[in-house]
């Protein structure tokens, strides 16, 4: 397992601790720059020393505020109190001084240590950094006393997806090429959402596994290997946020971040009985997140319940000068905090339409089809993207709708609700010509000292970045006589300067959004409801379609393409015990209404149940 080794710091007096935390640039030791691990250790020791200073002389044997007069809590008590805990309950435990942040963080780190070798959800465990933050927060709470006020995520353990910049850690983006010795993509600063989560008091435990560049519906990476589904390790958790959903549902953490370019928060959430929020694009900044396709990328929270997701969304949302899409969002969006929309009766009288094209399996090619493509090519790609709804998923969907109706909602089936023609319109939103621009902008702001652009990476490493994130005809640079089979080499340009930007993206997006909203008006609908996937999670020990598993798959990428919000909530289980997820979508900027609906459905159904994890598996080292 990657990550830092476990470092036990023994109390041997403040003088020895101070000496251990001090480097000697001019003495007998050679001058050098502290490593990330050493930096974390030094921060942790300094926090420890701060804690010592805050205690009375009689408490000198403890480095953090005591959680109870009777000594450290028992493992049985912690397992009972912390398993499946939600943020409000965790904060109540802190207020009652039952547990310290350090004790809670250590409990979650222990679960990662116990199970991560089987499920491989966390790619990099930052134990030194997590414990350093926990010690600091405990020390601050001691100083603050009864008047101490905390942020909304104070003391909450979280995980961050590996394509999201965490200062001092490697942003692998799931790809081994960003881990090359001497050329690592070490984040110079936090992504905007990471900075916001830290400021709210969250404790980052580590970075979660993901497929290379987030470009797969399964969770297999060259940087770390395969993540298994927590409900059965043989099966897929989906991608590309499969590491985060597995960590959250397995109680490695309280919540985590995900990213979504075509379904990558929502589809994995559905496989793992967790809540995944896809905010209206522009509500939450994506600055500092390595892009797959910046015109489609989004980020949002993944949690075990809607309340925790709403708390996290409230922290993550807001305008950011580093992300132009967020400009003016505060004036357009429903105001936070999003917990104010969580009402058990919010579904009463609401009408939801079922998109006909999803039931029919009409295809929408990922990243769409640019205007320059021929009608013949459009037909070929659309047909290749067809994805029938599996009978067992249709059955699970219809059963999940019973819960929606029980909560007071009306479900409308009608062939005119987003028919196949809608899928055809969405398919013409073609973003491929602009993907290199996103990678260049990310590296310029969040790349390491060695390279701040696509070209600088090539110069530094001696080989180009893959076409997946820079497009164009880069296959020529590696000596291939023609593009890889199935690829669409399209010359890259800058979106803001491209005369075809309207024809490729803006005009078809506006047209598709117009159909989406016109249908809501015509059918008197409040939103849409549909299965988050077209199939159950596949068994990855068996061939799928004659080859290696690449699924499960969905037909929900249109949400990214037309800029509307969506949420997935646990919708029940298949007969074999794997989860099914129900997806809801709403009008742009109605994110408060959306989480309110999800909450009402959750409270009416209580579908979630945690997985039973194993310590030995069939595929401990599957890659």
Active site residues: 161, 240, 264
Q: Which two tokens stand for residue 594?
A: 């959306």
- Residue 278's SS3 state is strand
For residue 126, give every residue at least 6 positions away whose Cβ sits within 8 Å of its Cβ, in sequence order, or none. 3, 4, 40, 166, 169, 204, 205, 206, 207
User: For 367, left (φ over 0), alpha (ψ -120 to 50), or beta?
Assistant: left
Residue entry with tokens 């549909």: 530
CA-to-CA distance for 335 and 19, rounded, in angstroms?
A: 50
CA-to-CA distance for 599 and 399, rounded, in angstroms?
A: 18
E strands along 40-198, which residues? Answer: 122-125, 157-161
CA-to-CA distance for 188 and 208, rounded, in angstroms?
A: 19
- Phi, psi at 154, each rounded to 5°: -60, 125
Distances (CA, A) of 452 to 10, 176, 496: 41, 18, 20
**Within 13 A of 490's CA, how many CA atoms are on the CB side?**
22
Q: Which two tokens stand for residue 14?
A: 């403040």
Centre a 10 Å sphere on the Cβ of residue 514 and count the other Cβ atoms it contains: 12
Beta pairing, strands 255-260 & 157-161: parallel
Buried b (16+ CB within 10 A) or exposed e, 87-98: beebbebbeeeb
CA-to-CA distance for 365 and 430, rounded, in angstroms?
A: 9
Widest distance between CA atoms in the chain: 81
CA-to-CA distance for 311 and 371, rounded, in angstroms?
A: 41
Q: How many residues does the chain have?
A: 623
The dihedral formed by the CA atoms of 152, 158, 162 and 163, expressed in degrees to the nearest 10: -10
**88, 36, 116: which is closest to 306 by C-alpha?**
88
CB 52 within 8 Å of CB 136: no
CA-to-CA distance for 185 and 172, rounded, in angstroms?
A: 7
For residue 77, give every residue at least 6 positions away whose Cβ sits within 8 Å of its Cβ, in sequence order, or none. none
**193, 305, 208: which is closest to 264 by C-alpha?**
208
Which helix or strand (DSSP H or E) is residue 205 part of? strand 203-208
E strands along 443-576, which residues? Answer: 527-531, 566-573
């Amino acid at each position: 397992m990657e990550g830092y080794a476990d470092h036990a710091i023994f109390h041997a007096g403040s003088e020895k601790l101070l000496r251990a935390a001090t480097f000697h640039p001019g003495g007998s030791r050679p001058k050098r720059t502290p490593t990330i691990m050493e930096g974390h250790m030094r921060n942790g020791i300094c926090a420890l020393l701060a804690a010592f200073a805050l205690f009375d002389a009689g408490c000198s044997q403890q480095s953090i505020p005591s959680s109870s007069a009777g000594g450290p809590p028992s493992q049985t008590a912690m397992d009972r109190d912390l398993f499946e805990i939600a943020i409000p309950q965790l904060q109540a435990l802190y207020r009652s001084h039952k547990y310290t942040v350090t004790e809670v963080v250590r409990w979650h780190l222990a679960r990662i240590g116990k199970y991560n070798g089987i499920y491989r959800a966390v790619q990099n465990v930052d134990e030194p950094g997590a414990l350093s933050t926990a010690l600091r927060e405990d020390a601050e709470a001691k100083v603050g006393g009864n008047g101490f006020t905390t942020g909304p995520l104070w003391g909450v353990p979280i995980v961050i997806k590996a394509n999201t910049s965490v200062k001092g850690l490697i942003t692998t983006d799931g790809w081994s090429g960003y881990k090359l010795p001497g050329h690592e993509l070490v984040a110079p600063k936090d992504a905007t959402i990471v900075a916001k989560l830290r400021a709210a008091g969250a404790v980052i435990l580590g970075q979660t596994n993901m497929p290379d560049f987030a470009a797969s519906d399964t969770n297999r990476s060259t940087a770390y290997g395969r993540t298994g589904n927590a409900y059965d390790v043989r099966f897929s958790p989906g991608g590309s946020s499969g590491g985060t959903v597995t960590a959250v549902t397995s109680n490695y953490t309280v919540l985590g971040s995900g990213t979504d370019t075509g379904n990558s928060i929502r589809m994995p959430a559905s496989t793992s009985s967790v809540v995944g929020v896809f905010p209206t694009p522009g509500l939450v900044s994506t600055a500092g997140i390595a892009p797959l396709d910046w015109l489609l990328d989004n980020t949002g929270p993944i949690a075990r319940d809607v309340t925790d997701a709403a708390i996290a969304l409230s922290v993550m949302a807001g305008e950011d000068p580093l992300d132009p899409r967020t400009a003016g969002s505060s004036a357009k969006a429903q105001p936070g905090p999003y917990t104010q929309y969580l009402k058990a009766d919010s579904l009463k009288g609401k009408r939801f339409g079922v998109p006909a094209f999803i039931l029919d399996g009409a295809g929408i090619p990922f990243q769409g089809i640019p205007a320059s493509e021929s009608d013949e090519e459009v037909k070929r790609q659309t047909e290749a993207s067809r994805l029938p709804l599996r009978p067992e998923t249709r059955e699970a969907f219809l059963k999940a709708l019973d819960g929606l109706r029980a909560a007071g909602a009306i479900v409308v089936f009608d062939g005119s609700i987003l028919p196949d023609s809608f899928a055809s319109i969405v398919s013409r939103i073609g973003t491929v010509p602009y993907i290199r621009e996103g990678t260049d902008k990310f590296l310029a702001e969040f790349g390491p000292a060695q390279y701040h652009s696509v070209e600088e990476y090539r110069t530094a490493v001696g080989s180009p970045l893959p076409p997946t994130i820079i497009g164009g005809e880069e296959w020529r640079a590696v000596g291939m006589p023609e593009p890889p089979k199935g690829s669409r080499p399209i010359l890259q340009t800058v979106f803001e300067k491209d005369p075809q930007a309207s024809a490729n993206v803006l005009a078809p997006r506006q047209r598709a959004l117009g159909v989406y909203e016109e249908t809501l008006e015509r059918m008197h609908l409040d939103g849409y409801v549909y299965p988050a996937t077209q199939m159950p999670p596949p068994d990855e020990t068996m061939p799928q379609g004659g080859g290696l598993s690449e699924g499960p798959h969905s037909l929900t990428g249109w949400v990214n393409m037309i800029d509307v919000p969506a949420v997935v909530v646990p919708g029940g289980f298949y007969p074999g015990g794997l989860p099914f997820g129900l997806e809801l979508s709403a009008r742009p900027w109605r994110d408060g209404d959306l989480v309110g609906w999800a909450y009402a459905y959750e409270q009416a159904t209580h579908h979630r149940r945690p997985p039973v994890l194993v310590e030995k598996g069939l595929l401990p080292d599957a890659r």
